[in-house]
Amino acid sequence: MRLMEAIPNFSEGRRPEVVDRIAAAFRRPDVFLLDQEMDATHNRAVITAVGDPNALRQACLDACAVACELIDLTRHQGEHPRMGATDVIPFVPLAGTTSEDAVSVARQLAGEIWQRLAIPTYLYEDAAHDPNRRLLPAIRKGGFEALRDGAIREAGRLPDVGGPDVHPTAGVTAVGARKPLVAFNVNLATTDLELGKRIARAVRESSGGLPKVRAMAVDMRESGRVQVSMNLTDTDTTPIFQAYEFVAQAAAAEGVAVAESEVIGLVGLGALADVAKSALQVGAFSTGQVLENKLLAVLSEQTHEAS
Protein backbone atom coordinates (compact mmCIF):
# COMPACT_ATOMS: atom_id res chain seq x y z
CA MET A 1 0.00 0.00 0.00
CA ARG A 2 1.53 3.31 -1.11
CA LEU A 3 -0.59 6.30 -0.20
CA MET A 4 -0.35 10.00 -0.87
CA GLU A 5 -2.74 12.82 -0.05
CA ALA A 6 -3.71 15.77 -2.24
CA ILE A 7 -5.62 18.83 -1.02
CA PRO A 8 -6.35 20.81 -4.22
CA ASN A 9 -8.03 24.23 -3.90
CA PHE A 10 -10.38 25.44 -6.63
CA SER A 11 -11.73 28.99 -7.16
CA GLU A 12 -15.40 28.06 -6.91
CA GLY A 13 -17.45 28.23 -3.74
CA ARG A 14 -20.93 29.22 -4.94
CA ARG A 15 -21.97 26.70 -7.60
CA PRO A 16 -22.22 23.26 -5.96
CA GLU A 17 -22.81 21.59 -9.33
CA VAL A 18 -19.39 22.80 -10.49
CA VAL A 19 -17.66 21.55 -7.33
CA ASP A 20 -19.43 18.21 -7.71
CA ARG A 21 -18.15 17.86 -11.27
CA ILE A 22 -14.61 18.65 -10.11
CA ALA A 23 -14.91 16.19 -7.21
CA ALA A 24 -16.11 13.47 -9.60
CA ALA A 25 -12.58 13.35 -11.06
CA PHE A 26 -11.49 11.81 -7.72
CA ARG A 27 -13.91 8.90 -7.97
CA ARG A 28 -11.67 6.46 -9.76
CA PRO A 29 -9.83 3.21 -8.92
CA ASP A 30 -7.14 3.56 -6.25
CA VAL A 31 -8.25 7.08 -5.30
CA PHE A 32 -10.48 7.88 -2.34
CA LEU A 33 -12.33 11.16 -1.95
CA LEU A 34 -12.25 11.91 1.80
CA ASP A 35 -13.69 15.38 1.98
CA GLN A 36 -15.19 18.12 -0.18
CA GLU A 37 -15.86 21.58 1.23
CA MET A 38 -17.00 24.82 -0.36
CA ASP A 39 -17.10 28.33 1.06
CA ALA A 40 -19.26 31.02 -0.57
CA THR A 41 -17.51 33.96 1.14
CA HIS A 42 -14.07 32.94 -0.06
CA ASN A 43 -15.62 31.54 -3.27
CA ARG A 44 -13.35 28.57 -2.94
CA ALA A 45 -13.58 24.76 -2.68
CA VAL A 46 -11.14 22.38 -1.03
CA ILE A 47 -10.99 18.68 -1.90
CA THR A 48 -9.18 16.12 0.26
CA ALA A 49 -8.27 12.91 -1.55
CA VAL A 50 -5.97 10.01 -0.78
CA GLY A 51 -4.70 7.29 -3.05
CA ASP A 52 -2.00 5.63 -5.05
CA PRO A 53 0.40 8.43 -6.10
CA ASN A 54 0.02 7.93 -9.85
CA ALA A 55 -3.74 7.51 -9.77
CA LEU A 56 -4.01 10.56 -7.52
CA ARG A 57 -1.88 12.64 -9.89
CA GLN A 58 -4.10 11.66 -12.82
CA ALA A 59 -7.23 12.51 -10.84
CA CYS A 60 -5.77 15.96 -10.07
CA LEU A 61 -5.00 16.52 -13.74
CA ASP A 62 -8.56 15.57 -14.73
CA ALA A 63 -9.93 17.87 -12.01
CA CYS A 64 -7.79 20.73 -13.37
CA ALA A 65 -9.29 20.14 -16.81
CA VAL A 66 -12.83 20.33 -15.42
CA ALA A 67 -12.00 23.49 -13.44
CA CYS A 68 -10.40 25.03 -16.54
CA GLU A 69 -13.58 24.34 -18.52
CA LEU A 70 -16.09 25.55 -15.93
CA ILE A 71 -14.37 28.38 -14.02
CA ASP A 72 -13.66 31.76 -15.59
CA LEU A 73 -11.38 33.83 -13.36
CA THR A 74 -12.18 37.02 -15.29
CA ARG A 75 -15.66 36.75 -13.75
CA HIS A 76 -14.64 35.40 -10.32
CA GLN A 77 -14.95 37.37 -7.08
CA GLY A 78 -14.20 36.31 -3.53
CA GLU A 79 -12.28 37.30 -0.42
CA HIS A 80 -9.49 34.76 -0.73
CA PRO A 81 -6.50 35.79 -2.87
CA ARG A 82 -6.29 33.45 -5.88
CA MET A 83 -4.46 33.13 -9.14
CA GLY A 84 -6.01 30.12 -10.85
CA ALA A 85 -9.21 28.20 -11.52
CA THR A 86 -7.26 25.42 -9.87
CA ASP A 87 -5.37 27.59 -7.42
CA VAL A 88 -3.00 25.30 -5.52
CA ILE A 89 -2.40 21.56 -5.33
CA PRO A 90 -0.28 20.40 -2.38
CA PHE A 91 0.75 16.73 -2.17
CA VAL A 92 1.49 15.14 1.20
CA PRO A 93 3.27 11.79 1.68
CA LEU A 94 1.38 9.21 3.75
CA ALA A 95 1.96 5.51 4.49
CA GLY A 96 4.58 4.01 2.20
CA THR A 97 5.59 7.24 0.46
CA THR A 98 8.28 9.85 1.17
CA SER A 99 8.68 13.59 0.77
CA GLU A 100 10.79 12.85 -2.29
CA ASP A 101 7.88 10.91 -3.80
CA ALA A 102 5.55 13.85 -3.20
CA VAL A 103 8.03 16.26 -4.81
CA SER A 104 8.32 13.96 -7.83
CA VAL A 105 4.52 13.68 -8.23
CA ALA A 106 4.11 17.47 -7.90
CA ARG A 107 6.75 18.22 -10.53
CA GLN A 108 5.34 15.68 -12.96
CA LEU A 109 1.81 17.07 -12.56
CA ALA A 110 3.07 20.64 -13.07
CA GLY A 111 4.45 19.59 -16.46
CA GLU A 112 1.26 17.75 -17.43
CA ILE A 113 -0.99 20.70 -16.54
CA TRP A 114 0.96 22.91 -18.92
CA GLN A 115 1.12 20.30 -21.69
CA ARG A 116 -2.54 19.30 -21.58
CA LEU A 117 -4.25 22.53 -20.56
CA ALA A 118 -1.79 25.32 -21.42
CA ILE A 119 -1.97 26.58 -17.83
CA PRO A 120 1.46 27.78 -16.59
CA THR A 121 2.52 26.29 -13.25
CA TYR A 122 4.63 27.26 -10.25
CA LEU A 123 6.37 24.77 -7.96
CA TYR A 124 6.22 25.61 -4.25
CA GLU A 125 7.21 24.38 -0.77
CA ASP A 126 9.28 21.17 -0.94
CA ALA A 127 8.72 20.92 -4.71
CA ALA A 128 10.18 24.41 -5.37
CA HIS A 129 13.25 24.65 -7.63
CA ASP A 130 13.70 28.26 -6.52
CA PRO A 131 14.13 28.70 -2.73
CA ASN A 132 12.22 32.01 -3.02
CA ARG A 133 9.17 29.99 -4.07
CA ARG A 134 8.84 27.83 -0.98
CA LEU A 135 6.08 30.06 0.38
CA LEU A 136 2.86 30.59 -1.55
CA PRO A 137 2.27 34.32 -0.85
CA ALA A 138 5.44 35.25 -2.78
CA ILE A 139 4.15 33.36 -5.84
CA ARG A 140 0.57 34.55 -5.50
CA LYS A 141 1.30 38.27 -4.90
CA GLY A 142 -1.37 40.41 -6.61
CA GLY A 143 -3.35 37.37 -7.68
CA PHE A 144 -4.71 36.53 -11.12
CA GLU A 145 -5.23 40.14 -12.19
CA ALA A 146 -1.66 41.30 -11.42
CA LEU A 147 -0.11 38.28 -13.14
CA ARG A 148 -2.37 38.71 -16.19
CA ASP A 149 -1.59 42.41 -16.40
CA GLY A 150 2.16 41.83 -16.71
CA ALA A 151 3.59 40.81 -13.31
CA ILE A 152 4.12 37.29 -14.65
CA ARG A 153 6.94 38.62 -16.87
CA GLU A 154 8.68 40.53 -14.07
CA ALA A 155 12.08 39.46 -12.74
CA GLY A 156 11.78 36.29 -10.68
CA ARG A 157 8.09 35.77 -11.38
CA LEU A 158 8.14 33.67 -14.56
CA PRO A 159 6.35 30.33 -14.10
CA ASP A 160 8.42 27.17 -13.50
CA VAL A 161 6.67 25.41 -16.38
CA GLY A 162 5.08 27.15 -19.39
CA GLY A 163 4.11 30.76 -19.82
CA PRO A 164 5.07 33.50 -20.25
CA ASP A 165 1.39 34.51 -20.13
CA VAL A 166 -1.44 33.34 -17.88
CA HIS A 167 -4.16 31.09 -19.30
CA PRO A 168 -6.83 33.67 -20.28
CA THR A 169 -9.59 32.25 -18.04
CA ALA A 170 -7.86 29.66 -15.81
CA GLY A 171 -4.85 31.77 -14.78
CA VAL A 172 -1.93 29.83 -13.30
CA THR A 173 -1.67 26.96 -10.84
CA ALA A 174 0.82 26.28 -8.02
CA VAL A 175 1.73 22.65 -7.39
CA GLY A 176 3.62 21.74 -4.24
CA ALA A 177 4.71 19.09 -1.79
CA ARG A 178 4.78 19.33 1.96
CA LYS A 179 4.71 17.24 5.12
CA PRO A 180 1.35 16.64 6.84
CA LEU A 181 0.32 19.75 8.75
CA VAL A 182 -1.24 19.54 12.21
CA ALA A 183 -3.36 22.45 13.45
CA PHE A 184 -2.91 22.36 17.22
CA ASN A 185 -4.11 24.98 19.72
CA VAL A 186 -3.38 25.28 23.43
CA ASN A 187 -5.93 27.33 25.36
CA LEU A 188 -4.52 29.00 28.45
CA ALA A 189 -6.52 29.74 31.60
CA THR A 190 -5.92 33.47 31.39
CA THR A 191 -7.28 36.58 29.68
CA ASP A 192 -3.78 38.09 29.41
CA LEU A 193 -3.30 38.37 25.63
CA GLU A 194 0.22 39.77 26.06
CA LEU A 195 1.24 36.57 27.85
CA GLY A 196 -0.18 34.57 24.92
CA LYS A 197 1.78 36.71 22.47
CA ARG A 198 5.02 36.19 24.43
CA ILE A 199 4.53 32.43 24.39
CA ALA A 200 3.61 32.37 20.68
CA ARG A 201 6.80 34.34 19.93
CA ALA A 202 8.85 31.97 22.08
CA VAL A 203 7.53 28.79 20.46
CA ARG A 204 7.51 29.75 16.79
CA GLU A 205 10.44 29.00 14.53
CA SER A 206 10.56 32.43 12.89
CA SER A 207 11.52 34.07 16.18
CA GLY A 208 13.93 31.36 17.32
CA GLY A 209 11.59 28.80 18.87
CA LEU A 210 10.89 25.20 17.90
CA PRO A 211 11.61 24.20 14.28
CA LYS A 212 8.63 23.72 11.93
CA VAL A 213 6.23 25.56 14.26
CA ARG A 214 4.15 28.59 13.29
CA ALA A 215 2.26 30.26 16.12
CA MET A 216 0.07 33.21 16.96
CA ALA A 217 -1.92 34.28 20.01
CA VAL A 218 -5.71 34.58 19.74
CA ASP A 219 -7.94 36.41 22.21
CA MET A 220 -10.86 34.07 22.96
CA ARG A 221 -12.93 36.61 24.83
CA GLU A 222 -16.15 34.64 24.87
CA SER A 223 -14.54 31.79 26.79
CA GLY A 224 -12.16 33.90 28.90
CA ARG A 225 -9.08 32.21 27.46
CA VAL A 226 -6.04 33.11 25.44
CA GLN A 227 -5.17 30.65 22.71
CA VAL A 228 -1.72 29.82 21.39
CA SER A 229 -2.74 28.71 17.89
CA MET A 230 -0.08 26.61 16.16
CA ASN A 231 0.56 25.00 12.81
CA LEU A 232 3.04 22.14 13.11
CA THR A 233 4.42 21.68 9.62
CA ASP A 234 6.64 18.68 10.30
CA THR A 235 5.73 16.58 13.33
CA ASP A 236 8.74 14.32 12.74
CA THR A 237 10.92 17.34 13.59
CA THR A 238 8.73 18.87 16.31
CA PRO A 239 6.14 16.35 17.53
CA ILE A 240 2.79 17.52 18.90
CA PHE A 241 3.70 16.50 22.44
CA GLN A 242 6.88 18.61 22.38
CA ALA A 243 4.96 21.70 21.22
CA TYR A 244 2.39 21.09 23.96
CA GLU A 245 5.05 20.73 26.66
CA PHE A 246 6.86 23.87 25.50
CA VAL A 247 3.71 25.97 25.74
CA ALA A 248 2.55 24.36 29.00
CA GLN A 249 5.92 24.96 30.67
CA ALA A 250 6.21 28.53 29.39
CA ALA A 251 2.73 29.25 30.77
CA ALA A 252 3.47 27.50 34.08
CA ALA A 253 6.61 29.65 34.46
CA GLU A 254 4.27 32.64 34.52
CA GLY A 255 1.81 30.91 36.86
CA VAL A 256 -0.79 30.09 34.19
CA ALA A 257 -2.26 26.64 33.56
CA VAL A 258 -3.41 24.98 30.35
CA ALA A 259 -7.23 24.91 30.22
CA GLU A 260 -7.40 22.50 27.30
CA SER A 261 -5.97 21.78 23.89
CA GLU A 262 -7.56 21.33 20.46
CA VAL A 263 -6.57 19.31 17.44
CA ILE A 264 -8.30 20.90 14.44
CA GLY A 265 -9.23 18.84 11.40
CA LEU A 266 -7.44 15.70 10.36
CA VAL A 267 -4.30 14.30 11.97
CA GLY A 268 -2.21 11.38 10.77
CA LEU A 269 -2.04 8.19 12.79
CA GLY A 270 1.74 8.47 12.98
CA ALA A 271 1.62 11.88 14.68
CA LEU A 272 -1.01 10.59 17.11
CA ALA A 273 0.98 7.44 17.88
CA ASP A 274 4.03 9.63 18.55
CA VAL A 275 2.09 11.44 21.28
CA ALA A 276 1.26 8.13 22.94
CA LYS A 277 4.86 6.95 22.61
CA SER A 278 6.18 10.07 24.34
CA ALA A 279 3.51 10.15 27.02
CA LEU A 280 3.94 6.46 27.90
CA GLN A 281 7.70 6.27 27.24
CA VAL A 282 7.03 3.45 24.78
CA GLY A 283 10.32 2.44 23.19
CA ALA A 284 9.24 0.50 20.11
CA PHE A 285 5.78 0.99 18.71
CA SER A 286 4.62 0.67 15.13
CA THR A 287 1.42 2.07 13.66
CA GLY A 288 1.11 -1.47 12.26
CA GLN A 289 0.06 -2.42 15.80
CA VAL A 290 -3.07 -0.29 15.52
CA LEU A 291 -5.96 -2.58 14.68
CA GLU A 292 -7.75 -0.11 12.42
CA ASN A 293 -4.53 0.49 10.47
CA LYS A 294 -4.00 -3.24 10.01
CA LEU A 295 -7.56 -3.51 8.73
CA LEU A 296 -6.91 -0.58 6.40
CA ALA A 297 -3.90 -2.39 4.92
CA VAL A 298 -5.99 -5.53 4.30
CA LEU A 299 -8.90 -3.59 2.80
CA SER A 300 -6.62 -1.47 0.65
CA GLU A 301 -4.97 -4.62 -0.71
CA GLN A 302 -8.35 -6.14 -1.57
CA THR A 303 -9.57 -2.95 -3.23
CA HIS A 304 -6.38 -2.84 -5.25
CA GLU A 305 -6.87 -6.44 -6.42
CA ALA A 306 -10.50 -5.77 -7.31
CA SER A 307 -9.81 -2.67 -9.42
Q: 195-198, long-range: CB within 8 Å, 24+ apart, which pairs? A: 195/226, 195/251, 195/254, 195/256, 196/226, 196/227, 196/228, 198/250
Determine if 220 is a binding residue for a second copy (CB under 8 A).
Answer: no
291 part of the interface to a second copy, by CB under 8 A: yes
Q: Does 24 bind a second copy (CB under 8 A)?
A: no
Q: How far is the CB of 301 from a second copy (least distance, A)?
A: 10
User: Smallest distance, Å, CB 142 to a second copy?
Assistant: 34
298 touching a second copy, by CB under 8 A: yes
- Pair 255, 234: CB distance under 8 Å: no
Are the C-beta atoms of residues 244 and 274 closer than 8 Å to each other? Answer: no
Torsional class of 89: left (φ above 0), alpha (ψ -120 to 50), beta (otherwise): beta
What is the C-alpha to C-alpha distance for residues 8 and 90, in angstroms, rounded to an integer?
Answer: 6
Total of chain residues touching a second copy, rule CB under 8 A:
52
* CB closer to a second copy, 77 vs 281: 281
Kindly tell me which residue out of 77, 208, 280, 305 binds a second copy, with binding defined by CB under 8 A. Answer: 280
Question: What residues are paired with 186 via a beta bridge?
Answer: 228, 261
**Cβ-contact 56, 34 below 8 angstroms:** no
Q: Which of 34, 40, 135, 252 binds a second copy (CB under 8 A)?
A: 34
State in angstroms the smallest separation of the CB of 292 from a second copy.
4
In terms of Cα–Cα distance, which of 64, 71, 67, 69 is closest to 6? 64
Whichever of 54 and 108 has its CB closer to a second copy, that residue is 54
Q: Are strands 121-125 and 86-93 parallel, antiparallel or unpaired?
A: unpaired
- Quick check: 254 binds a second copy (CB under 8 A)? no
**Interface of this chain with a second copy, residues 79 to 98, rule: CB under 8 A:** 94-95
Q: Which residues of 162-173 are buried (b: 16+ CB within 10 A; e: fewer)?
A: bbeebbebbbbb
- Report the nearest approach of a second copy to the CB of residue 281 (Å): 5
Residue 211 is which amino acid? P
Q: Which stretch binds a second copy (CB under 8 A): 54-62, 78-86, 152-160, 277-285?
A: 277-285
User: Which of 33, 36, 131, 227 lies at the binding interface for a second copy (CB under 8 A)?
Assistant: 33
How far apart are CB 190 and a second copy at their closest, in Å? Answer: 15
Rule CB under 8 A: say whether 292 interacts with a second copy: yes
Point out the residues that are catalytic. Answer: 80
Rounded least distance, CB 202 to a second copy, Å: 19
> Which residues inside 161-190 make contact with a second copy, applying CB under 8 A?
180, 184
**CA distances, 124 to each of 80, 140, 153, 217, 220 (Å):** 19, 11, 18, 27, 33
Does 269 sit near a second copy (CB under 8 A)? yes
Binding site for a second copy (CB under 8 A): 3, 5, 32-35, 50, 94-95, 180, 184, 240-241, 244, 258-263, 265-269, 272-273, 275-276, 278-285, 287, 289-296, 298-300, 302-303, 306
